[in-house]
Structures are given as C-alpha cells and as structure tokens.
C-alpha cells in the first residue's frame, strides 16, 4: 500500500477524482470505488485513497475523465499532472517527492534533537558550576556554624535560667486563661440554647409557608401536560426525584497498548461540527445517540414518528461517514413494534421498553471497554456515561455537522 506521504503528494489527484465520483450516479460509479464515493469527511481512509489511485492507473476512461476535470480546474501540480498522463512512468516521481517529504520531516526532527542535546549540555555545565559554588558555600557555613555553636554553649546556661523564670510566668497566665475559658463555656451554652429556640421558630414558619405555596402532590397526579414545555418540566421533575438512585459508571477500562486514547483535541468545542469531525478522524468503535434528545433538536414534534425519523436520518448520515457502529436509543413506553431494528444504512435502532433511554445508553457504555462516543445534551447522562475512552458530544455537534455536510 502507498505510504501516507505518497497520498499527500497525490492529494490533488484524489480530490479531483472524488469530485468526478460525486457528479456521477451510483450505477455509473465502479463497484470498487463505491465505498470511497460514500465518504463524506475531509480525509478518506487510506484504503479508499488507494482504491482511487489504483483505479486511475488501471482504468483509461476514468483517468481521461479525471484528467479533463483536472485541466478545467487549472491546478498547478506537476507531479499530479505527470501521474494522470502516465501513472506507471510517474511512480518514480511520486516516490521521490514522498521521500523528500519524509527527509524534510526527519531533518526537522534531527535538528530538534540536536537543539535539545545542546540545551542539556549547557544545563549540565551550569549544574557543575553551581555544585562547585555550593561546596565552597557549605564549607564556609560549617566554619561559621562551629563558631556559633561555641558561643551558643556559653549562653545556654543563661538561657536556661531565663526559661525557668518564663515558665513560672506562663503557669500564672494559664491559670488566668482557664478561668476565662470557664466563663466563655457558660456563655456559649446560653447562646446555643437561644439559637435552638430561634431555629425551631424559623422551621415552623417555613413549614407553614410551604403548605400555603406548594401545590399538594395529590393534585398533580392527574395533571396532563398541555405542551412541550410542560412535558419537559414534568420529565425534569421526575429525573430529579430519580437522581439519588442513579450513579455514574466510573470503571477505568484498559485498552490494548497499540490503541490510541479517544480524546477531544485542544481548542475544539464538543458542541461544534468540527468537534464531530475530529472524533470521526480518530475512528471510534461506537456512537451511542440519545434519540429523543436529537429529535427535539431537529423537529418540533420530537415524540412522534416524524421526530424519530428525523433523528434516525441524522444517525444515517453519521453511519455513512464512519466505519464505527452507530446505535440510536429511544424510550419505548409509547412506541408499538419491535424493540430493535436496523436502518437501511446500518444504524442500530433500539426502542427500550423496560428502562429509560438514558439507563440503556449507560448500560451500553458499561458493557465493554471500547472507544465509544455518546451524543446527548442531557447533563446527567453525560456524567453517568463518563469513563475512560468514552467521549461525550452535544446534540448540537451532530445537527451542525449534518446540516453543513455538503459544504465541508
């Protein structure tokens, strides 16, 4: 397989070929390039890039079409131009250009290493100089200490006599302080009794105020939410009541040594389209999506079938852009049908009838120590899903990423 540097040298050729594939109908795209044509991110995986390069080299009509688009684009890339003209003859030029990139990178790393060595040599020389100076200062300090000890021994007797007199004075002061502490203890007991009486009166007043202001729970039992905001308020109240019985999963999973940790790059927000792009580039194993949370962000009727289909459509876009497993979970208390299904694009759709969608997602996060991503705006779910190599993205990141998919 060509190296990463060779793909960088032929980046313009690959980009023009992707533009050519994007303008073709699915039936007109060669089978070996269909997976590459489905890629929507800025960077294609290496196997897809290789498939494009190999097809250009082996398929004359496709290479002719790409060459025409290249000419119309007016791209100034001599190596790419030679490759489109004769891939076999240009293979050496591509390898040489890639080798130049590698040499440049290695040279820069070598210069950095030499600079570090020079800095360490300078620090070593300075440390040796400081050691010599410190030895001289220590010897001088020892001589001074010996003279001081001699003078101190002469004054110890006088100090002991003075300490005895001071001890007698301290004992007298202690007796006075003991008497003051006894007086303060009596005053503190009186103050505590006064505070207890005041606290009892305050509690009685607050209880009476709550009885007047808070609607009895029996009157709330039969209330039916009249709109989305009232339903959200009711769900929030239920969530607060259930919160003491839920705890976040904090088990630290150990991945294989050769697997990179899943992290959000510095300077990128987890509620932005760039954040989702950065996570996709790290090739996580699973995406877990809070279904109704996404539905509420993309549809006014989030709890209806239209809302669920709108959320599933966003999940399908994500599935087409990644090799990872994509799972979207809905509460199923008001949904009839199967508990599990798969969309046409391979998204796993889960309707959870037994527990809440939040609990189901937390269980999926805890099921195995893979590199997973949870997409939700629910703060409690974000906390409960926290574990090693599990990133949390906001719903806004998926919405922004999918809405501007064709522009990126």
Q: Single out the residue in 128, 151, 174 at which a domain terminates.
A: 151
Query: Higher confidence at residue 312 or residue 62?
Result: 312
Domain match, 2 and 144 both = yes
Give every CB contact of residue 296 below 8 A, 6+ residues apart in sequence. 302, 307
Looking at residue 381, its pLDDT comes to 92
Mean pLDDT of 217-244: 57
Is residue 313 a part of any domain in this protein? yes
Determine the Cα–Cα distance for residues 32 and 151; give it in Å rounded to an integer.
95
Q: How many domains does the chain have?
A: 2
Looking at residue 212, its pLDDT comes to 43
Is residue 95 a part of any domain in this protein? yes
Looking at residue 309, its pLDDT comes to 92
Is residue 170 a part of any domain in this protein? no
Query: Higher confidence at residue 58 or residue 320?
Result: 320
Is residue 69 a part of any domain in this protein? yes
Looking at residue 19, its pLDDT comes to 82
17-31, 46-60, 308-322 — most confident range? 308-322
Query: Higher confidence at residue 363 or residue 95?
Result: 363
Residue 206 has pLDDT above 80, yes or no: no
Mean pLDDT of 59-64: 86
Domain match, 7 and 146 both = yes
DSSP string covering 288-311: EEEHHHHHHHH-S-TTSHHHHHHH
Coil, helix or strand at residue 326: strand
Is residue 214 a part of any domain in this protein? no
At residue 242 the predicted structure's pLDDT band, cuts being 50, 70 and 90, is low
Mean pLDDT of 42-58: 81
Mean pLDDT of 82-91: 82
At residue 25 the predicted structure's pLDDT band, cuts being 50, 70 and 90, is confident
At residue 286 the predicted structure's pLDDT band, cuts being 50, 70 and 90, is very high
Mean pLDDT of 180-199: 75
Looking at residue 149, its pLDDT comes to 85
Residue 183 has pLDDT above 50, yes or no: yes
Flag whether the pTM goes above 0.85: no
Q: Single out the residue in 135, 151, 167 at which a domain terminates.
A: 151
Q: How far is CA 173 from the centre of its chain?
A: 62
Entry field: residues in the chain: 408
Q: Single out the residue in 129, 151, 173 at which a domain terminates.
A: 151
Is residue 238 a part of any domain in this protein? no
Query: Higher confidence at residue 81 or residue 198?
Result: 81
Percent above pLDDT 90 for the chain: 29
Determine the Cα–Cα distance for residues 129 and 180; give it in Å rounded to an integer.
60
64-68, 176-180, 211-215, 269-273 — most confident range? 269-273
Tell me if 377 sits within 8 A of 397, measured CB to CB.
Answer: no
The per-residue pLDDT for range 117-133, each reduced to its tens digit, is 989 999 999 999 999 99
Mean pLDDT in the chain?
Answer: 80
> What are the angstrom distances between the C-alpha of 174 and each of 179, 188, 232, 388?
9, 20, 65, 58
Looking at residue 189, its pLDDT comes to 79
Cα angle value 291/335/314 (rounded, 5°): 25
The per-residue pLDDT for range 88-115, each reduced to its tens digit, is 877 787 878 778 878 887 888 888 898 8
Name the least confident of 8-17, 29-38, 183-192, 333-342: 333-342
Find the domain containing 13 and state its range: 1-151
39-53, 93-107, 301-315 — most confident range? 301-315
Cα-based torsion angle of the residue sequence 68, 71, 77, 81 in order, rounded to the nearest 10 degrees: 40
User: Which of 235-257 are b and which e, b meaning 16 or more Cβ less than 10 Å from the residue's Cβ?
Assistant: eeeebeeeeeeeeeeeeeeeeee
Percent above pLDDT 70 for the chain: 80
Is residue 209 a part of any domain in this protein? no
Which residue carries 């790419």 as its tokens? 80
Q: Comparing C-alpha atoms, which of 29, 73, 43, 42 is closest to residue 404?
A: 42
Looking at residue 214, its pLDDT comes to 47
At residue 224 the predicted structure's pLDDT band, cuts being 50, 70 and 90, is low
Is residue 370 a part of any domain in this protein? yes
CATH number at residue 390: 3.40.50
């Amino acid at each position: 397989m060509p190296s990463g540097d060779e793909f960088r040298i032929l980046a313009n050729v690959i980009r023009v070929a992707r533009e050519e594939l994007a303008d073709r109908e699915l039936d007109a795209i060669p089978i070996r390039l269909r997976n590459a044509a489905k890629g929507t991110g800025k960077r294609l995986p290496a196997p897809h890039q290789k498939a494009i390069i190999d097809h250009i080299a082996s398929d004359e009509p496709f290479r002719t079409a790409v060459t025409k688009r290249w000419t119309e684009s007016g791209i100034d890339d001599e190596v790419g131009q030679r490759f489109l003209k004769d891939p076999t003859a240009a293979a050496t030029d591509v390898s040489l250009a890639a080798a130049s990139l590698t040499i440049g990178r290695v040279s820069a790393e070598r210069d950095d290493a030499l600079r570090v060595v020079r800095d360490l040599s300078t620090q070593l020389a300075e440390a040796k100089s400081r050691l010599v100076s410190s030895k001289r200062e220590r010897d001088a300090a020892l001589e001074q200490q010996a003279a001081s000890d001699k003078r101190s021994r002469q004054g110890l007797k006088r100090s002991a006599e003075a300490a005895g007199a001071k001890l007698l004075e301290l004992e007298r002061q202690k007796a006075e302080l003991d008497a003051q502490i006894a007086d303060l203890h009596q005053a503190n007991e009186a103050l505590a009794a006064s505070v207890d009486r005041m606290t009892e009166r305050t509690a009685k007043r607050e209880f009476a105020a709550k009885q007047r202001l808070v609607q009895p729970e029996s009157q709330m039992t039969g209330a039916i939410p009249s709109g989305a905001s009232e339903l959200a308020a009711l769900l929030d109240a239920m969530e607060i009541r259930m919160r003491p019985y839920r705890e976040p999963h904090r088990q630290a999973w150990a991945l294989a040594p050769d697997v990179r940790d899943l992290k959000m790059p510095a300077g990128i927000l987890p509620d932005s389209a760039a954040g989702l792009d950065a996570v996709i580039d790290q090739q996580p194993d699973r995406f877990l999506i809070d279904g109704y949370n996404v539905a509420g962000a993309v549809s006014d009727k989030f709890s209806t079938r239209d809302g669920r289909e709108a959320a599933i459509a966003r999940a399908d876009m994500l599935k087409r852009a990644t090799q990872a497993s994509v799972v979207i979970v809905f509460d199923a208390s008001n949904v009839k049908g199967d508990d599990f299904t798969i969309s046409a694009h391979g998204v796993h759709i889960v309707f959870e009838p037994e527990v809440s969608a939040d609990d189901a997602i937390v269980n999926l996060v805890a099921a195995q120590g893979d590199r997973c991503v949870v997409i939700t705006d629910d703060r409690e779910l974000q906390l409960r899903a926290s574990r090693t190599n599990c990133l949390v993205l906001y719903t806004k990141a998926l919405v922004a990423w999918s809405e501007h998919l064709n522009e990126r």
